[in-house]
Every structure is written in structure tokens, then in C-alpha cells.
Structure 1
């Protein structure tokens, strides 16, 4: 039971933190884009947008810093065997992430409070550094996760790791596609959320020029990332098929090894019967996607010890949710870009605005589902093939108490963030903005 609570607490902390981490990565980029547009055009709306995004970045950065600090403590307190034994192997990216976080905090302070106190060029440079530092922070953290999925850079021994090469541990075989996949997910989730918010306002107030311009800032990033993500995801899946075949089999709900394996759409894997009922199968498509050969053999779960199987149904359903929401966002983005180049302007018809409003939360849904796939798909290992999760957990009992305590804390922080962000958005509504201006702000 304590193992379950330890995993649940770590999962809850990650699910909460990743939303704020993603915003801390993407909002500074959108902030800098708005700033650049304001400088190039002299448009007050873009300047106001950059200020709003800076305030939003500060709010989300503060909560992300708190939840990230909690995570760093949880790694040591909940999983002492992992950090105590392999911290020397994978400690370097943690240290670099801390440096990136510190740099982001310094330049965010300069950007927030130096707008009218330093030169415009230095102010813009500080915003660019916030965006780069946020991306670097996510990059280094993802390197740790890539190591856990595909450990390299050391030789296992009964006394712990030997022949340690920290650089090789950082840059194992899976780092390129996993880091790019993660960064794209962060930008995509934040840009879709921002586009959804401004689409909602434009449906209520079609004449709002501020929100029309804000939508024009969010849409390019949303569309580009949504169309790039399936390409990177395909490369990642091909790597998993070769390097982590048991995880790949769980992703697809494939129990039997097959040549010319079909791709299952939907379905709920049943471990007891070794079948995936209710799935729609596309013949030979899985072999093509995994190995580029319609007759290639794809290993099923039957090839691996039952004790090494991840939770098949959870992994499969999370993967289907990620792919499904990603596909919907890619289709909407393709339609939007087609209309953009056809009409020489970003489209703002009501049907398309409704599409962006409804798809606004899908980036976050896909990102959370993707992390569940990564984490559940690695089980029962904390370091795949090297250390099992059950062997890494703390021996301290009664882990239910901190789990419920942090659940309440996260609920409170989440409610406060929603309250503050709603105030930020409502302050830009046409009626509210006019009322505030008439009363002196």
C-alpha cells in the first residue's frame, strides 16, 4: 500500500507541476513575440498583451517553482534507493536544470520590473533569456526521464554503478526525440490554451481588436507545433518499437507476436483473455508504422515475462487518448493554416472560433496523457531493466498522510491560480476594460 501511495503522490505532483512547467516554457516565447510585434508596429494592443503575458508568466512561474521544489524533495524522500544509488550517474542534468531555473528567475525579474528602467534592447534580451532558460530547464529534466527509460553511461554491479560516464548517461539513445517531443508538447499545450481563451472572448465580443491580435500571436505557434508533433511522435514510436518492445506492445494492446501486425484503434485490452475487445484494426499498419515494412514482425506481450508487463490497459488507453487528441489538433491546425494562406489573414469565422474554443484544453490533455504513457509504460521499473520501482521506494510507513496533505495543497494552489488568471483575462474584456479606464484603472 505504501508503494501505491508513493507512486500516487509522485504522479499527482508531476501531473500538477507539468502544467505550470509547460506554461513557464511557452508563455515567455509568446510574451517575446508580442513584444517584438509591439516594437515593430507601435501597436498598444501588442504592448498590453506582452504585459499580460508577463504577469501570467510570473504567476505560473511562482506556482511551478513551489511544485518543482516539492518534486525535488520527493525524489529523495520517496525514492531514496534511486537517488542514493544512481544520483551520481544522472546528477549532472539535475544540476544544469537548477542553473537554468536560476537564470530564468533572474531574467524574469529584470523583464517584469525593468520595462521602464532599462534600455528597450536589454529589456527584450531579458525576455528572450527567460524563454531560452525555460526551454533549457525542460530539456535537462527530460534528459533524466530519457535515462530512466533507456539507461546508459554506467556498468551495473552488485555494489552499484561503476565505470560512470555522466555525459553518456545524459545523452542516451532516446534523448533527441524525447526532448523534442516534450518541448513541442509544452508549446502546443500553452498555445492551444491561449487560443481557446481568446476564441471564447471573440465569440462573445467579435469586435475586440485586442483579442483578435492575441489570437494571431497564439495561432502560429499552436498550428506549427500541432503539425510537427505527429512527425516527432512517429519517430519516438519507432524507437520504442526497437528499444522497448514490451512497452510498444502495451501501447498497441498487442498480446501475440505477429508478422504484418494490424494497428488497433480504440479497444480495451483484457490481460486475462490476452485480447483487445472493441478495437478497430487496420491490417498491417502497425508493422508499417513500427518498421516501415508491411510484413515486419512485431513482438507481442507474450514474448516477455508477465512480471515485466506494464499496466497494459492504462498504457493503451492513455496512448489512444494522446494520439486521438493530437490528431484532432493537427486537423484543426491544417484547416486554419489553409484558410490563413488562402485569405491572407488569420480566419476568425464563428465555426472556426468554436473549433479553437473546444480544442483549447486538448493540448493539456494530450500532454498529461503522454506523460502517463511514459511513466506507466516503464513500469515495473524506475530505471528500465536495472532497478524496480518497488526496490527504490522508501521504507518509511504511513505514506497516506503526505499524499492527502499534498493533494489538498495542490487543490488550493490550483484554485488560486485559476482565480488570478481569470482576473487577468477578465481585465481585457471590452466592457470591463472600458469601465476600468473610465474610473482611472
Structure 2
């Protein structure tokens, strides 16, 4: 393994783990705040226990997210020094502001964890809300920095030098809104389905049903709303990519030939040698309609992109298909759940409904990982779209492969430790009272 591949692999592993920790850390405080609010309003002890149980999970993921995020920050400088040398002064502002949001989140979390029976009960609840809001802001700021890599702005690039730097314009680049919206909704959908699936499993096992049924209701509704909104944000993102990163869109769709009435490809195996997709289902004109709102519009294919500027087609296409497929399954489950809530309430106590949520537990994070693969691999060979190539940014220092092996072991060990801690927290949930009829309608 050469240094370039090792550096890219290390960033991929680090980001792959961090994105799970950060998504859960961003979203769980909102679940916690809703449970806390319901306890304050109803006095139901199950909601109080849910709040305390979830607050411990929030603390765990705050710690792991902080550690893994700090590692990523160092890796940017150590693995990609040329990139940071030129890009740091331009897109450094969102990272600085993210640090401020992080400190606010840490202070608010401390207040919440140690404020029971100390603060005014509603002020205590507000501190939990602040944890969630600052976490979301922190995530959006990081995404703004990443979006700048896809849509660089706020500077002039003249004779190899970056001049006339405008950090505000760089932060609010053309891609930041679509990426931030898509990522935020994805975090809610992924975390919602994951947590709902865990509580659904506990309900099936008849363990502390009252507690888990109440927790399931909260997380399932977050998941359902997010999964329904996600295709809308995906449409906004696709239109941006079509306009600003045609090579990425072409790789996502394995769209080899520029044409009007471009078909939407479902599945298939890209054959880059023969410039075709085998075993795919094609929907004529649908790609043109989706990206340009007209069936007869032209969509740029890979034949218009120089070979040296084309991203890896197979990886990008497969990742995009996985993301869309997972999203569509979650959308279907969400519509089924809403049908149960508003039409067939008897389904809400059926075991098959909980089994569906259990099966869907990993879908959201599978979609998140696939989506980030599309974002990063689809931008290649550029680390800054159209400005700097990834190969030109990597460190010249030798031995990166050993760092990659070490960090891979560390991250997997961290994942095992987090899984163990969360499993222990689930088993330690106190039983205040229980329901034997799986009453999910109250």
C-alpha cells in the first residue's frame, strides 16, 4: 500500500466512524429533550427514566465524537499538509465557530447531567435543548467546511496563489445549504431508526415494555418525519450536483453518454471499458426530469469529462444506489407507520410492526455511510473541486500505512467499547411500572 492510498484509507476509516458518533451525538439530545418535556408535562416516570437513560448515551457519544473529531482535525494537517497550507486560511472560519459551538454544547451538557434537583426544572430542560441545538450547529458548520471543498468560493486563484480571501463567502458557499440540510435530516432518520429498532427489540423480548414503548414512540416519530423529508432534500442536492459537479452526477448514475431524455438507472453493473451499464432497470427521461425538471433536457455524461478528471464510477454508483435503496425502504416503513397511527391503530401493538423496525435498525447509518462515500469519492480526483488534486495534497512523509493500521485498530476498539457501554446502559434501565398490552396509542 503506497502512502497516497494509505492516507485516503485512514481518512475514510476515521470519517466512517466519526460520522456515526457525531450523528447520534447531534440527534439524541433532541430525543432526550422531548422525553424530558413529556415528563415535566405528564409526570409519567417512564419519561423521566428515558430522559436519564438517554442522557447517559448522549454523554458517551459526546465523548467519542469529540475524540474522533479531534483526530480528524489533526489528520487534515498531518496527512494533507498542502491542502491545509492553502485552504486553511480560506475555510478556517467554520472550524473556529464549530469549536465555539462545541464548548457551548459541553457546558450545557454538564449543566444538564448534574442539574437534576438543583436547577429550576424548566431551566434544566432548556440546558438539554441547548445541547441539541449547539450539536446541530456544530455539525452544520463542519458540513459547511466540507461543502467548500465541493464548491470552492471566497477567493481568487491566480498564478497558483490564493488571493482576495473572503471567509464569509467561503463558509456560505453554493453547496452549504443543500449539504447541511441533507446531512441533518439524514442524521435524524439514521439515529431515529437505530434507536427505535433497539427499543422495538426490547418490546419483542417483553423487557420493561412500558419504558421501551414510550421510548419507541418518540424515536419512531422522529425517524418517520425525517425519512419522509429526506427525498425532498435529496432532490435539492441532486440538482446542485447536476449543475456544479456534472462528473459526480455522471458517476452516481453511471451515465456514460451525454443525451436528452436521459434515463434514470436503477441498479446495474457499470462497465467503464464498454461505456455501458449491464443488468440495470432504465426509466426513460426520468434523470432529465429529476435534475432539470424537463424530460427533454440534456444531462452531461462521462463522455464530456476528461478521463483524468473522472471519479471512480463503480464505487460512486454502487454507493449511490445503496443510499437511495436504504432511503426508499425507510420511506416505505415510515408511510406504513403513519398508516398505523392514523388508520389502523390495532397494528401499533402487533409484533410484526416491531420486527420491521428491528430489521431497519442499521438502514439509516448504511445510507449515511454510502452518502458520504458518494460525496467524497464522487469528488475525486479533486480535494478542492477544480482547484487542487488529492494526489497533490498528500504528505510526503513515509510510513503512513502503519498509521492507517494503528488507527483502524483504535477505531474498532472504540466502537466495541461504545457498544459495550450502551448495552450495559440498556440493561440498567429501572422498571417503574410496566404495560403488558404494548399500549403504543397513549
TM-score in same-fold range (> 0.5): yes
Report if the CA contact (8 A) 1:8-1:403 is conserved.
yes
Q: Partner residue of 2:146?
A: 145
In 1, Cα distance between the equivalents of 2:208 and 2:184?
34
Q: Partner residue of 2:166?
A: 165
Q: Partner residue of 2:46?
A: 45
Residues 1:244 and 2:238 are matched in the alignment: no
Q: Partner residue of 2:292?
A: 291
Per-residue displacement from partner, 1:7-47 (whole Å, max 9, x unpaired)?
00001000010001001100000000000000010000000
SS at match of 2:70: helix
Matched ranges for 1:85-124 at <5 A: 85-124=86-125
1:177 CA drift (Å): 1.2
SS at match of 1:5: helix
Higher deviation after alignment, 341-350 or 40-49: 341-350
Report if the CA contact (8 A) 2:108-2:130 is conserved.
yes
1:345 CA drift (Å): 8.5
In 2, Cα distance between the equivalents of 1:254 and 1:429?
55
In 2, Cα distance between the equivalents of 1:21 and 1:192?
16
In 2, Cα distance between the equivalents of 1:429 and 1:333?
30
The alpha-carbon distance between structure 1 residues 413 and 146, as it changes in their structure 2 partners (threshold 3 A), is same
In 2, Cα distance between the equivalents of 1:38 and 1:343?
27
Report if the CA contact (8 A) 1:115-1:123 is conserved.
yes
SS at match of 1:276: strand
Q: Partner residue of 1:266?
A: 267
SS at match of 1:48: helix
SS at match of 2:268: coil
In 1, Cα distance between the equivalents of 2:73 and 2:406?
17
In 1, Cα distance between the equivalents of 2:337 and 2:256?
39
Report if the CA contact (8 A) 1:216-1:346 is conserved.
no
Unaligned segments of structure 2, at least 5 residues: 435-442
In 2, Cα distance between the equivalents of 1:107 and 1:206?
32
1:139 CA drift (Å): 0.5
What is the number of residues matched between the two proteins? 432
Residues 1:309 and 2:343 are matched in the alignment: no
In 2, Cα distance between the equivalents of 1:369 and 1:348?
33
Report if the CA contact (8 A) 1:194-1:360 is conserved.
yes
Q: Partner residue of 2:256?
A: 255
1:348 CA drift (Å): 3.1
Report if the CA contact (8 A) 2:156-2:162 is conserved.
yes
Q: Which has the higher contact order (CA 8 A, sep 6+)?
A: 2
In 1, Cα distance between the equivalents of 2:9 and 2:45?
47
Higher deviation after alignment, 334-343 or 371-380: 334-343
Following TM superposition, the consecutive aligned residue runs of length 4 or more in structure 1 with deviations greater than 4 angstroms are 343-346
Residues 1:232 and 2:245 are matched in the alignment: no
Q: TM-score, normalised by structure 1?
A: 0.96
The alpha-carbon distance between structure 1 residues 95 and 346, as it changes in their structure 2 partners (threshold 3 A), is farther
Q: Partner residue of 2:155?
A: 154
Report if the CA contact (8 A) 1:155-1:161 is conserved.
yes
1:427 CA drift (Å): 2.2
Q: Partner residue of 2:421?
A: 420
In 2, Cα distance between the equivalents of 1:346 and 1:430?
25
1:429 CA drift (Å): 8.1
SS at match of 1:62: helix
Unaligned segments of structure 1, at least 5 residues: 434-441
In 1, Cα distance between the equivalents of 2:318 and 2:297?
24
1:344 CA drift (Å): 6.0
